[in-house]
Structure 1
Amino acid sequence: MTELGHNARGRLRAASALAVLSGWLLLPQAALIAHAVQRVFVENAPAAQVSAALWALLATLLLRAALGWAGRRLADQSVERIRMDLRARIARRLLERGPHWVRSQQSGALAERMGTHVDALESYFGGFVPVRAEVVWVPLAILVAAFSVDRVVGMILLLTLPLAPVFMMLVGWGAEAASRRQLQALARMGGHFADRLRGLGLIRLYGRGDSELRGIEEAAEGLRARSLKVLRIAFLSSAVLEFFASLSVAMIALYLGLTYLGMLNLRAAPLSLETGVFCLLLAPEFYAPLRRLATHYHDRAAALAAVDEIATALGPLDDAAAGPIARVAPVEDDALIAARALTVRHHAAAPLVLRDMDLTLRRGQHIALAGPSGGGKSTLLEALAGWLPLEGGEVRRADGLRIGYAPQRPFLFAGSIADNLRLAKPDATEAELRLAAEAAQVGAFADRLPDGLDTRIGERGFGLSGGEARRIALARVFLRDPDVLLLDEPTSFLDADTEAAVLRAIARFAQDRAVVMATHSAAAMAAMAQVWNVGDGRVRAMETRA
C-alpha cells in the first residue's frame, strides 16, 4: 500500500501535517471560549473586555478552516495522482502480459480492477492516511493539556483511550475479510454481466434470456448480501467507538458536576468554571480523530481488499509471459524477421500449435498461408506480430522494423471511420487518410455513407459488415506504412470484384515490402508469389512463382 502512494508521498505528508496543526488549534480555541465564559458569567465583565478574546477566537476558527481546506486540497491532488499512476501501471502491465493473457481473462473483471478497485483506494489515501497522523498527535496534545489543568480528567482520558482502538481492530479484521469477498463478487459480477451483454444476440437467438436473467439476479442478490454484511460490520465499528467515547465524556461530565456540587473533592484547589468548560470542550474533541478514523477504517479494509485484487494484474509475470515474445537483434542478410525453432502452445494443457519452425522473411516476399482451419495460420501471424508467448525458440526482428497487422476480427472503436484510421497515425492528414482508404477500397462504401469517412460507427464496427470492417483494418495497415504486412483473411466476406481490387491494392502497396497473408481464397493465393501450407505444427512450401 505504501508503494502505491510513493509518487504522492510529499502531498500526503503535507496534508497530514495540516490536519495535525488544525487539531492542535483546538487547544487555544477551547481556552478562548472557556476564558470568555469565565469573564462574562463569573466575573461579570462587560462585552468590551472580552472582545479581544472573541476576535482571537474568530481568527483561530478562520485559520482552522483555511488549514482544513488546504489539507483537503492536497489530499485530493494526491488521490488523483495515485489513481492516474496506478491505472497507467495496470495498463502497462497488461501490455507486458500481452494479448494472449488478456484474452484469457474476463474483460469485465479487468475493467473492475482498473475502475472500481482503483477508486476504492481514494478514501484510504484521501481520508484514512491524513486522519491516521491526526489520531496520534492531536489526542496526545489534548491529553497533555488535560493533565496540566486537571489530573483526574487526564486520567479518565488516558484510561479510556486504548479501549476503542482495540475493539476497532478486532472488528476491522472482519471488515477487511468481508470487503475482500465483496470486491471479488463485484469483479465476478462485472465480468459475467459484460460477457452476457456482448453475447446478447446469441442469448436471445437460443431463447436463454430468462435463465441468464435469473443468473444475473442471483449474482446481484449475492452482491447485495455481501455489501450489507460489510455495512453491518462498519456500523458495528462505529458503534463500539461511540460507546467508549460517550462513556468517557459522561464520566468527565459526572466528575465535574459532582465537584461543582461539592459532593466530590479530588482537587487541592477549587475547580473554576473556566477549567471545567475547557475540559468539557476538549473531551469530545479528544475522540473526534478516532471517530473520523472509524469512518475511514472501513475504507482501509476496502482498500486492502482492492490491492489484493489489483495485484492479480500487477503481479509478476509467469514464465510463459516473462520471456521475450520477440526481440530486436541482428538478423542475417536482408531478413526482416527470423524465427528459429519457433514453438507455440495456446494453453499449458493444449497441444503444440507450431513446432520447431524455422522461417526467414525478407523484403519483397509475398507469402500466402494456406491450410485447414485450426492448422495454425493465425497463430503464426500472431507469433510473428509478437502477440503470443513462445513455448520455445525465438523470433528476431530487424532494428526499427515496422509491422502492420490486420487480424481476422479487427477491433473498431466507437467513433468515426477516420478516427479508427488515425489509430495507426494520429497526425495523418486528410489526404493521407483518403489515399489509404482508397487503396483498401474503403471509399467504395464510405462514399455512400452520409458523412463519408467522418461517419460514426459503433464499438466493434457496429453498423458495418464484416468485409467493410476488414477493409478499414487494411486501410489502417496501409496508413502505418509498415515494412511487413501480416494479414489474416483480409478478403473474406468480399465479392469477387471487390476482392480482386483489394488484392491489386495490396500488391501495389507491398512491392518493396514483405507480406504474409493467411487465407482460404484461391484468388488470394494466386495473387501471392509463394504459397505455404500450415498444418500439424509445420510450414511446407507448396508453390513458388517467379
Structure 2
Amino acid sequence: MSIPPDASIVETTALRRQRLHWLGGLAAAARGKQRLAAICICLSGALLIGQAAAIAWLIQAVLVDHRPLAEATPVLLGLLAVLGIRTLLGSVTQAAAGDVADAARLALRERVYQRLLGRGPLWLRQQRTGELGELMLAHADAIENYYAGYQPVRIEVVVVPLLIAIAVAWTDWVIALILLFTAPLVPFFMMLVGWGAEAAGRAQLGELARMSGHFADRIKGLGLLRLYGRGEAELDGVATAAEGVRERTLKVLRIAFLSSTVLEFFASVSVAMVALYLGLSYLGLMSLHAQVPTLGVGMFCLLLAPEFYAPLRRLAAHYHDRANALAAAAEVERLLGELPAAAVVDDAPPATARAPELLEQHAPPVVVRDVSLRPLGAHHDVVQRLSFQIEPGQRVALVGPSGSGKSTLLEALAGWLPPREGSIVLRPGLDVGYAGQRPYLFHGTIADNLRLAAPGATDAHLRAVAEAAQVMRFAAALPLGLDTVIGERGFGLSGGEARRIGLARLLLRDPHLLLLDEPTAFLDPETEADLLRTLAAFARGRSVVIATHSETAMRWADTRLTLTAGGARLASEVSP
C-alpha cells in the first residue's frame, strides 16, 4: 500500500491544529479580558487613521495653503486627544493581555498538576522530576508570551491593515494596490520561518528539560557521587548538558534574527515603493491620475504605509512566541502522554469498581475478586487470581518472600495500580491511608512533615500520634524534639525513623483502612512491641493490612494471607 507523499504533512498540520485548540482552551477563564484587548487594539488602529489624517491636514493647511494657525488649533487639539486615547488604549490592551496570559499560565499548571496526581506515585517514580518541573516553569513562560505577545497582534493584523487599506484606497487607489500586492510577502515568509522556528523551539525546550532532569538527579545523589569520587566527572556531564542548551538557544536566536531581518527588508522595500511613486508623481515623471495628488494626500498615504506593515512586522516578531508555545505543548504531550484537559475534581479514573451488591451500609470495606497484578515496567504478573475480603476492624498480615507481590498488592488496594484482571471493590466513602517503606519527607521540622496530613492539628494531637508511632522514642533525644529540622527526603534520619514519621503522619490523618508496608522493619523487639500495641489502640474499629516479615507482626494480626513468589495464594488462615 502506497503512502501519499503529503501524509506526514497532513499529520503534522492536524497535530498543530490540535495543539493550537488546546492552547486556546487554556484562556477560557479570561474570555472577557481577551475581548477587551481585541476591542482596544482595533480601536487604536482605527484612531491611527484619524491621527494620520490630522497630521496630513495640518501640513497641507499650514505649509501649502498658508492658513492661519488659529484655524489649525481645533485639529491640533483633536490630534493631541487622539494621541492620549491611543496611549490609554495601549495600556489597557497590555493589562488585559497580561491578565489573559496569567490565567493561561495558571490553567496550564492546574492541568499539569491534576494530570500528575491522576498518574499516581508509581508513574511519578519512573519519571525525571527535573523534566516534570520544567512543565511548570519554562513551558508556562512560553505559553505566557504566546498570550501576552502573539494573540493581541494576531487580532491587530487582521483588522488594522484592512482599515488602513480602505482609507488609502479612498484617497489613492494606486498606493492601495501597492500595499495589497506587497503585503502577502510578509505572512508567506513568516509561515516558512515558523516551521523551522517551531522545530528549533521544541528542540531547545527538550534540551532544557533534559538538562534540568540531569541536574536535579545529580543533586539528589550528590552524597553518593562524592562518596565514590564521581564529582568531577558529573561536573563535566553538567557542562556538556549546558552546552547543548546553549547551542539550541543560539539556533532559535539565529532563526529569529534572520527572519526579522528579511521581514524588515520586505516592509522597507514596500514603503520605499510608495515613496518612489509619490516622488515621481510630484516630479511629473509618472501620471496615473487626472491630477497630481496634493501634498496632504501624499503625506496621509506615506504616514499610513509603514503603519500598514507595522502589525505584520509585530506579528513576525511575536511569531516565535507562537512557535515556542506549540513546542511547549508538544513537550507537555511527550512527557504526559497527552495534552491534559481542564482540571476537574474527579478527573482521575477510579482505581476500584463499585459493585451494586456492595453499596449497602454494612458491606465489607474491601472485596478482592480474581485479581492479577503486574508492577509498572514488569513483564509478568506477581499476583495471580487472588480473591479475599477484609471485614471491619480486621487486621490482615500479608506474608511471603520478597518478590511475592506484597507491596504491589498494597499499592493496588491504595488505588495506585489498577488490576490487570479482576476487580478491587471498596465500600463507598471508605478513606484509605498508605504508609510505604520510603515515605517522602520534606526539608523542615518533624512537626511540619507530620502536619502535612492535618495542617490544623493541635500540638497535643501531634504529640499523641508521635508517641503512638514511636517517633518520640528518638525525637525526645533531639535538641528541639518535634521542632528539629530534617533534610530533604529525610536526610539525617535512619530508614526506621523515617518510616515511623510516615506512620505517624498516617495516624494523624485517621483513615478507615490502614495499608502498612513493613512498618516494623529495622526496629528492635522492644520498640516493635510498643509500636504494635499503640497501633492496635489507634486502629480499633478500623481495618489494617500490614505487609511484614516479622513473626511478632504476624501474631499481632488476626488473619494471615500468605503469597508465594509465583503470585498464587497459598493460604488464608486465622493466627492463633
What is the TM-score when the length of structure 1 is the normalising length? 0.93
1:479 aligns with 2:501: no
Query: What is residue 216 of structure 2 aligned with on the other side?
Result: 194
- 1:538 corresponds to which residue? 568
Cα drift, residue 208 of structure 1: 2.6
Q: Does 1:222 align with 2:239?
A: no
Q: CA deviation at 1:469?
A: 1.8
Cα separation, 1, equivalents of 2:480 and 2:439: 22
Give the secondary structure class of the aligned counterpart of 1:494.
coil
Q: For residue 463 of structure 1, what is the amino acid of its counterpart? A: G
Q: CA deviation at 1:425?
A: 2.2
Q: Which residue of 2 aligns with 1:58?
A: 80
2:11 counterpart residue number: none
C-alpha spacing 1:52/1:323, structure 2 compared with 1 (3 Å): closer
5 Å-filtered alignment, 1:367-382, equals 367-382=396-411
Q: 1:61 to 1:446 in 2, by over 3 A?
A: farther
Offset from partner CA, 1:377-416 (integer Å, 9 cap, x none): 1111111111112211110111111112111000122333
C-alpha distance in 2 between matches for 1:38 and 1:542: 102
| Alignment partners' CA distance in 1, 2:95 and 2:523 | 58
CA–CA distance in 2 between the matches of 1:80 and 1:392?
A: 44
The corresponding residue for 2:144 is 122
Alignment partners' CA distance in 1, 2:240 and 2:176: 54
Opposite residue 457 of structure 2, the aligned amino acid is A
Alignment of 1:28-43 (within 5 A): 28-43=50-65
1:22, distance to aligned residue in structure 2 (A)? 0.9
Q: Given that residues 23 and 329 in structure 2 are in contact (C-alpha distance below 8 angstroms), is that contact kept between their aligned partners in structure 1?
A: no
Structure 1 residues 157-212: Cα deviation after superposition (integer angstroms, max 9, x where no partner): 11111111111111211111222222222222222222222222222222333333
Matches within 5 A, 1:330-479: 330-331=357-358, 334-347=363-376, 350-479=379-508
2:21 maps to: 2
1:64-111 Cα offsets, whole Å, 9 max, x none, are 111111111111111111221222122222222332322222222222
Distance in 1, matches of 2:23 and 2:286, equals 54
SS at match of 2:365: strand
Contact 2:185 2:266 in 1 (8 A): yes
**Contact 2:118 2:349 (8 Å CA) reproduced:** no
- Cα-Cα RMSD: 2.3
Task: Kindly indicate whether the alpha-carbon contact (under 8 Å) linking 1:406 and 1:477 is maintained by their aligned counterparts in 2.
Answer: yes
Distance 2:440 2:87 in 1: 52
Identity %: 56
Alpha carbons 1:325, 1:394 under 8 Å: kept:
no
Task: Report if aligned partners of 1:532, 1:539 keep a CA contact under 8 Å in 2.
Answer: yes
Question: Which stretches in structure 1 are left out of the alignment for 5+ residues?
Answer: none
Q: Which amino acid aligns with 1:545?
A: S
Q: Which moved more, 1:210-219 or 1:73-82?
A: 210-219
Distance in 2, Cα, partners of 1:471 & 1:335? 29
How many aligned positions are there? Answer: 543
Q: Which amino acid aligns with 1:538?
A: A
* Structure 1 Cα separation of the partners of residues 117 and 349 of structure 2: 14
Residue 251 to residue 176, structure 1, CA distance change in 2 (3 Å): same
Give the CA deviation at 1:506: 0.8
Counterpart Cα distance in 2 of 1:26 and 1:275? 16
- Cα distance between partner residues in 2 of 1:298 and 1:15: 20
Residue 315 (structure 1) aligns with: 338
Structure 2: gaps of 5 or more residues:
1-19, 341-346
Using the TM superposition, name which of 356-365 and 108-117 deviates more: 108-117
CA contact (8 A) 1:172 1:237 kept: no
Say whether the 8 Å CA contact 2:555–2:575 is kept in structure 1.
no
**Aligned-partner SS, 1:25:** helix
Q: Choose 355-364 or 49-58, whichever is displaced more.
A: 49-58
In structure 2, relative to structure 1, the CA distance for the partners of 1:324 and 1:391 (3 Å cut) is farther
Native 8 Å contact 1:530 1:541 kept in 2? no
Q: Contact 2:134/2:209 (CA < 8 Å) preserved in 1? A: yes
Q: Distance in 2 between matches of 1:4 and 1:120?
A: 11
1:292 aligns with 2:311: no
Residue of structure 1 in register with 2:344 after alignment: none
* Aligned pair partner of 2:528 in 479, 482, 499: 499
Aligned counterparts, 1:70-85, within 5 A = 70-85=92-107
**Aligned-pair CA distance for 1:336:** 1.1
Aligned to 1:12: 34
User: Counterpart of 2:6?
Assistant: none
Residue aligning to 1:510 = 539
Structure 1 residue 375: Cα displacement: 2.2
* Alpha-carbon displacement from aligned partner over 1:472-512 (angstroms, at most 9, x marks no partner): 21111111112211111212233333322222211211222
CA distance in 2 between counterparts of 1:169 and 1:399 reads 55
**1:253-332 maps to which residues of 2 (within 5 A)?**
253-312=275-334, 313=336, 315=338, 324-329=350-355, 330-331=357-358
Give the Cα–Cα distance (whole angstroms) in 1 for the partners of residues 559 and 523 of structure 2: 22
Aligned residue number for residue 111 of structure 1: 133
- Offset of 1:135 from its aligned partner? 0.6
